[in-house]
Structure 1
Amino acid sequence: MNMYIEKLTNLLLEKNEMISYIQAKTWVELLWSDFEATYAKAGHAYQGEKMTEKIVTQWIENYGGQLHLFQSSRNDVNDYLNQSRGLLH
């Protein structure tokens, strides 16, 4: 999985110059785990890392350039996502 995370982190950094490496990796890990958890909760059989990579890649392609604009209604989430703001790659 680490190979996929690194690849997707680099893709996100290409799409969004406003986030740091740490933020990009955090976003990728969150998107990855969110997809797998949601897919499982919906009762679908696990399709493997390739399927998760495909979906997260689509999300990054479609929304990666705007992820730095995300604001959660939960302060703890915002704190987590903004932990390295200002330390750009």
Structure 2
Amino acid sequence: MNDYTEELTKQLLAKNPALSEEKALWWVEMLWSDFESSYAKAGYPYRGAQYAADYVKQQIEQHGAMLHLVTRKQKDENEGEIK
């Protein structure tokens, strides 16, 4: 992944200048890890870093311009529920 991180982050920043470099990197890492874990849970064989990078590039192209609008749910520490 590290071989692709810098380039994917640059692509995301070009697609969405509203993101900071730190947030763009977070999105790249999150998309990558989510893809790999979902792919593995589905029982598919690992197809390599290039395959994951291609998926992240596709997500950047399709959704990158709007990622700054996504809000994260916060966990309520008192009740353990996500709000």
TM-score tier by shorter-chain length is 0.7 to 0.9
Q: Which residue of 1 aligns with 2:64?
A: 64
Deviation of 1:29 after TM superposition, in Å, equals: 0.2
Query: Structure 2 CA distance, aligned partners of 1:57 and 1:37?
Result: 17
Higher relative contact order (CA 8 A, sep 6+): 1
1:75 corresponds to 2:74: yes
Q: Which has the higher strand share?
A: 2
Mind listing any 5+ residue stretches in structure 2 that lack a counterpart?
76-83
Deviations 1:42-82 (A, max 9, x none): 0000000010000000000000000000023x215xxxxxx
Runs (4+) of structure 1 exceeding 4 A deviation are none
Larger Rg computed on CA atoms? 2
Mind listing any 5+ residue stretches in structure 1 that lack a counterpart?
77-89
TM-score of the superposition, structure 1-length normalised? 0.81
TM-score of the superposition, structure 2-length normalised? 0.87
RMSD: 0.9
Query: Structure 1 CA distance, aligned partners of 2:2 and 2:45?
Result: 22
Q: Which residue of 1 aligns with 2:15?
A: 15
